[in-house]
Amino acid sequence: MFWSLCGASGYCFKFDLYCGKDPEHTARDDLLLGSKVVLNMLDCIEIPKNHCVYFDNFFTSRDLLIHLRNLGFRTTGSVRENRVGDRSLLSSNELKNTVRGNYDYQFDRYGDVLFVRWHDNRCITIGTNFDKVEPLGAATRYSRQASKKTQVQQPAILKTYNAYMGGVDHHDWLVGKYATVIRGKKWYWVLFTHILEMALVNAWLFYRLVHQKNALDLLDFRRAVTVTYLKLDTGRPNIGRPMKYLTSQLRMIPDFRFDGIGHMVDKRSMKKDV
């Protein structure tokens, strides 16, 4: 399992392979696994106030929102109903009986965090330490009663959450579009190829940011990278043992062969030094 820190575009800034309990972070044993993952991912950020962080309900809790606010991070995340503390929000069953688009909210003055529960296709609860409810926006939803699309009111916190949440899912989707499959008995090959795919997707996102409208799509970009690496060493035989008549120059890739520096193999005597 990979934990990833991604931007809204899908660019992966940091990832970590989950290997069970980490003995290096014993000071965080009192936190939930999701909270520890978020804090470990955010350790690399030097100026917290310059970033807004969004995550789903596996990670979010009231204590985490308060702790991140104390560190200077602006954070928002969907919350499970049993993690909102003693906030007296309308239950999901009560909110479902109201008009679609209705909402309820409570502000925790002790922790400076806000919880909002909104009636959409299902009831969703959002927690934040910096965002707000108003101004109310509008979301387009299909109404079965009217048999057409209608507008329902939507709190501002839901609009920003939907706009910036999903970077990890987008990155995983890009990685899985043309994933390389290697059949082998070694379990770590899956991790190795997955990391290569993540690096390739990151390279394509950065390349598209530079070239914008003139950029290749992901498939053509992968082909260009593959062809480039296939042409690096054309002097080596494809099958069989390396032939003795090949010189060291033919075995060198063009970047080294023509750089004007004598990259030659030093001849040594057959005798070993005693």
Can you say whether the dihedral through the CA atoms of 211, 213, 218, 219 is positive or negative? negative
The pLDDT, as a whole number, for residue 25 is 59
Is residue 51 within 8 A of residue 29, CB to CB? The reply is no
232 contact partners, CB below 8 Å, separation of at least 6: 253, 254
Residue 210 structure tokens: 């530079």
CA proximity to 117, closest of 101, 134, 136: 101
Is residue 127 within 8 A of residue 108, CB to CB? The reply is no
Is residue 92 within 8 A of residue 99, CB to CB? The reply is no
Is residue 252 within 8 A of residue 246, CB to CB? The reply is no
Residue 50 carries which DSSP code? G
The tens digit of pLDDT for each residue in 116-131 reads 999 988 899 999 999 9
* Token pair 């290997």 in the structure block, residue: 19
* Token pair 């479902």 in the structure block, residue: 96
Is the pTM here over 0.85, yes or no? no
The tens digit of pLDDT for each residue in 86-105 reads 667 888 888 888 888 899 99
Domain boundaries, the chain: 2-167, 178-230
The pLDDT, as a whole number, for residue 133 is 93
* Token pair 């290096």 in the structure block, residue: 24
The pLDDT, as a whole number, for residue 270 is 66
**Taking the chain (274 residues) in consecutive chunks of 10 residues, what is each chunk's mean pLDDT?**
90 89 63 86 91 92 92 93 78 88 88 90 91 91 85 92 93 92 80 92 94 91 91 61 49 62 66 54
Residue 49 structure tokens: 């106030």
The pLDDT, as a whole number, for residue 78 is 93
Residue 248 carries which DSSP code? T
Residue 89 carries which DSSP code? P
Residue 221 structure tokens: 């970009």
